[in-house]
Amino acid sequence: MHKRRWTRAGFAWNRQVDIQRGVLEQLAMRSALMSLALLLLLSVGCARWLPVVPSEFSSSDADTARLANGSTKGIAKNELASDTVGIETILLRLSALESRELPELWAGADEQVFSPALRMEFDRNGLRVGKFRGVLPAIAQRWITENAERIATDPMEQAGVVADVSSFTQLWRCRASQSKELTIRNLPQDSVTLFYNEDGVKGGRYHAPHFMMMLQAFPVGDGSARVQLVPQLEHGQARRVVVAKESAIRTDERRDTIHWKGLGLDVQLQLGDCLVLGAASEPHGLGEHYFRTRTRNSEVQDVILLVRVSELNAPDVFARKP
C-alpha cells in the first residue's frame, strides 16, 4: 500500500515538473519571438527615416497612412503620381533626460534658411524651426529608435493613451490641390488659456482646443518639393453653417478656427530633407501648447515634430522643354 502511494505521489510530482517545464519553454519561446519582432520593427522603422525613396504606400485611403513606428506591413505598393509628394511626419515625446539633449539637436539644424522676420515671429510665439539636409543627425535617429521600442513593448503606447500626443509615424500623399490636417494635440474635454502674438498680443480661453498643422506639398519640377505648414486651432462647439461650393448649397457643421498665416512655412526641400519644429528654449504662447504635453503619470514632456520629404519622383531629363 505504501509503495502504491509513493508511486502515485511520484507520478504526480513528475507530471507537475513536466507542466512547469512546458510553461517555462513557452515563455522562453514567446520572449524570443517578441525580441525578434522588436528587432524587425526597429529595422523597418529606422529605415524609413533614411534619405532613400521608400517603395511602399498605404492602401487605407490612398492619401494618408498611419504607420506605427514606420512599419510597412500590409501596405499596398503603388507608383507615385507625377503631381504627388510623399511626406513623413512623426511627433516625438522627449523624457526629461532627452530634453537636456535638445541643444545638440538644434546645433545641427539650419535655421538660417528662414528669414529673420519669420524667425522673430516664431520666437515671439514660443516656437522654433530648423532644417536638416538629407540625413537626420544621430541624436534624432536614436530618439526615433527609442520611440519604436516603447511602442513595440508598451500596450498603452500602442493604444495612444499615454499622453495627448501620440508618437506614430504618418505617411501623407500630398497634392497641390489638397490640404492635410496634421494633429498635434486634441483636447476635447479641456479648456486652455492661450495668448499669442499677431499684430499685438491676442488670446483668451478656448474650449476643446484642437491644435494642428495644415500641410500642403507638391513637386516643383526640378527634383524638389515645395512644403507648406500653417498652424491652426479649432475650438468651441460645432455650429451649423451654410456652404456654397461648385454651384451647390449645403449645410455643414464647423467650429471656430484661428489660422496663424503669419507663422506659416513655405520652403523648398530636396528628397530626404527634413524640417524640425519645437518650442523655444523657454516655452510660452503657441510653443507651450503645441510642443509640450503631460502624460498619464503627470510628467511634462517636450515634443518635437519632424516633417520629411520621403517620396518624390526624379525629374524627367528627357522631357521636352517648352
- What distance in Å separates the CA atoms of residue 39 and residue 27, rounded to the nearest whole number? 18
Residue 223 to residues 89, 143, 218, 219, 266, Cα–Cα distance (Å): 20, 29, 11, 7, 17
Residue % of the chain over a pLDDT of 90: 56
Q: 160-179, pLDDT tens digit by residue? A: 889 999 888 999 999 888 89
9, amino acid identity: A
Residues 200, 235: contact at Cβ < 8 Å? no
Q: What pLDDT, on the 0 to 100 scale, is given for residue 282? A: 87
pTM for this one?
0.76
- What distance in Å separates the CA atoms of residue 3 and residue 12, rounded to the nearest whole number? 14
Q: What pLDDT, on the 0 to 100 scale, is given for residue 177? A: 83
- What distance in Å separates the CA atoms of residue 84 and residue 295, rounded to the nearest whole number? 36
Q: 7-60, pLDDT tens digit by residue? A: 444 444 455 545 455 544 554 554 444 444 444 443 433 334 433 333 333 333
**Phi/psi at 273 (nearest 5 deg)?**
-65, 150
Residue % of the chain over a pLDDT of 70: 72
